Structure 1
Amino acid sequence: MLSASQLADRLARDAEAVCRYYLSAGHRAGNYWIVGDVANTKGRSLYVRLKGDRAGRWTDAASGQYGDLLDLVREACGLVDFRDVADEARRFLNEPRDPARAEPGLSRSGDARTASTDRPSGERARRLFRMTQPLAATLADGYLRQRGILRAALHPALRFHPSCYYRDLASGRTSRYPALIAAVTNRSGAITGVHRTYLACSGSEPGCIGKAPVDTPRRALGTLLGNAVRFGFPAKDLVPVMIAGEGLESILSLSHVMPAMPMVSALTANHLAAFRPPAGCLRLYLAADADAAGRHGIEGLSRRAQALGILPLVLNPELGDFNEDLRRLGPDRLLANLRDQLAPEDAHTLLSV
């Protein structure tokens, strides 16, 4: 099986085909593919190099986003887990491309682009969030409770959608599933995107709730760069001490045992590295995950924090991530592990369950 770097190299060899498939609203201009943004909006802000040593590298001059073609696939498809990104890239590389589907102005299913493509992704994200309902006593609340997160309904960033649109990336077929919806916000609290976790009752036992039986049950929509899902932030974004991490459930697990501590979930390692700490932040705790991508995000944000005069401190789980610690070791053990890693002046923010 190809590694991440090998997948990126393979995609770069066929960079124009990748762009025509995922960024069909754009066009070729010399050695570059030009389009509005990673959401495939018409425009000229994002450019992808098609030839040479840096083939496949792209930059969005408006947002500051950049990366290789794996990053582009992740952003264009709204994927969160790297496994889903790699699966989508492998599917693209192994799938014969229909020339009709590669024409600018056509969607990946080959049909004429719908009006929703021309609507900015942030606007679509805000519209989706407005269609949600409170989390308490919903399927999404039950899903999080099964994972040991008992007070999720107290967070206004989390909502429930009983029938959220889902499009299969391979076939183009559409369906609907209930979904946990998390609002991604900027430093002023404005919604810039949403994160969706598609859900279904597993059927293995009564009341058991799991992710929907789809290839990519976690997806994002909108602008994530520099932003995050926020928990426990005060009305004014002046936060001297906070926690930042990658996964939604991992951060919710920390919030479960430290409800007074402001926290953010950046959703992916790359977006964690690009997170913008709030004004007045003095100490930034970085919630680590036990994988290479997570370490990349931690290192990137640590460098950013130091450049801003913020002290970065890493919090490590005992197992694979903090949700696994919560479920398998229990809240008391998780809290004790965290207490040992906090600076003494921050210990007062810890509250028992």
Structure 2
Amino acid sequence: MDRYRFILSGGGTGGHIYPAVAIANELKRRYPDAEFLFVGAKDKMEMEKVPQAGYEIKGLWISGLQRKLTLKNLMFPLKLISSLLEARKIVKQFKPHVAIGTGGFASGPLLRMAESSGVPCVLQEQNSYAGITNKLLANKAEKICVAYDGMERFFPKEKIVKTGNPIRTDLVQIKESKKEAASFFGLDGNKKTLLVLGGSLGARRINQLIEKELSFFEKQGLQVLWQCGKLYHEEYKKYESESVKVLAFVNRMDLAYASADVIISRAGAGSVSELCLVGKPVIFIPSPNVAEDHQTQNAQALVAIDAAIMLRESELDEAFATRFSELMESKEMQEKLGEQIKKMAMPKATEHIVDEIEKLLKK
């Protein structure tokens, strides 16, 4: 038997890249001599992140369709044809045993060409509202690994396996106590801590909200660990104080989560899956600027079972202070949200996805 070869594609954002890398790492653990090749979009972050994780990547000349009529959209057919031809060549040369797609436009041409060459394909859909690429690929895929119930409205029911989303391994077991974690960031281990997460790049609207409410948080007796994103760090670092820590990004997410009593976050699929594992009260502020408004759908799936609070960006001015005060004043509400969100955690997601891939190898 020759060595197994796995081809993986997904990108455009960290939410598609991270799951692909996590799946590759688990496959490598089970098959140490397997070969891996990633395929991404030429000018996107996967071209940097995947090699950092120790894998080879090839880039396609592809981008998503813009929602507005732009020159880029006129180029789309040309880019698509070019990417399909390049993807066919890559599949022919690499001869993968299985192709794995984690969403994002870059995975479309690669998975389409793998399917048409008879390579079994596995899709991983992170969101509660399926992305367009995965919807287009679903009919030919062997298995579709999902994180939410009710995904048969997008995919053939018999192909769906509920596995959950891959999680960073350092978060599966958060060992540090709140006091140790707080002192790592220079915070007081005896005070209540609000953790603010705006995604890897930060979120302008969340940052504006936190800036406006700093004195309100102080009155509530809260200290703030504020991940504002590298785009905004220059603008907000002036608020750094004994009780407010302003970070461009958080290197030790396990410690950030351990130090938090309450969390304000975007609702990207990866963040939601991590926060289920953490099991603390969360206020989600979904980004309205993402495809198919999937962050709102992700948050609503938790709100529906009393596992989180959601505020749209448009509601922040009038509703934030009231909703936040209600939460901080009710120990019962805090406990209920923490317990309910924890029930949604699926810490073995990566292993379950790779179990499905293994079944295809044995066919």
Give the TM-score normalised by the residue count of structure 2: 0.28
Give the TM-score normalised by the residue count of structure 1: 0.28
Considering fraction of residues, name the structure with more strand: 1
Considering fraction of residues, name the structure with more helix: 2
